[in-house]
Amino acid sequence: MPWKNGKKWVYSITYDEGCEDLLRYALPIHRKYGVPGHLALVSSQIGVPRNLPGSSYDKMMILSKEQIHELVKEGWGVSCHSMTHCGVTLNNAETEVVQARRVIEETLDMEVRMFCVPGDNNGHSGALKYAPIAGFTSILTIYDRVNTRETDLLSLGRVPLHTEYPAPFFSVYDPYKRIHQAIDLEGWIIDYCHCPMPDKPIHPAKDCTTQELEQRFATVRSVGGEDVWIAEPNEVVNWVLEQKK
């Protein structure tokens, strides 16, 4: 069975944290290639400088409610990236998952049905237990894999769009990463990064440059042609849920 409108595979991209600099550096590239974006937002850190000491993105300004709504009008989507980004455990999941959904929806005045695991995948098990309690219908992880129509929506993989993996691998940026696998599987790629910058990434193992972002979009468009459905992740999840009714 094909994807929406008979498309053979799907491409999406997400940005963790929702840095305001996305408006300056990434948004023009999205508009050029007609690619909707997606923001994984920490519920307690919207419209303020990011407060996570030790992070490469600490003190960077986070998009405001008004800026987020303007992006949503352009087709962008939103997920909840926990309450504080401290990492989800069974001990704190009531706050980091359940309360986090209430806070982000009240702050943004919009429904948020997707959860994005913060930090590493160690928080996935806690999120799996509490996401249904909170009313989330899907979870984004950082398992590097292609999703299919049969993938559990509470265990969606994301492909890192990064300049260089850390030691001991040092793998370099590949604009074709997992595209041909997605085509063969008739699958769904969800890329993720943080805030692409010109010429040099903020952190090479967590981000790409704007040049690499544009190269990725151009490759998706040229290789995918009419066969690729380029969609915001919530749109894809909603479509999958509709097919299951």
Tokens of 119: 């930090």
The pairing of strands 159-160 and 38-41 is unpaired
pLDDT tens digits along 198-222: 999 999 999 999 999 999 999 999 9
pLDDT tens digits along 151-192: 999 999 999 999 998 888 888 999 999 999 999 999 999 999
What's phi and psi for 74, nearest 5 deg? -90, 5
In the predicted model, is pLDDT for residue 244 greater than 90? Answer: no
Provide the residue range defining the domain that includes 50.
4-243
pLDDT tens digits along 112-128: 999 999 998 999 999 99
Which amino acid is residue 11, in one-letter code? Y
The mean pLDDT value of the chain amounts to: 96
CATH code, 192: 3.20.20.370
Nearest CA among 129, 64, 140 for reference residue 98 = 129
pTM given for the model: 0.96
Average pLDDT estimate for 47-65: 95
Domain count, the chain: 1
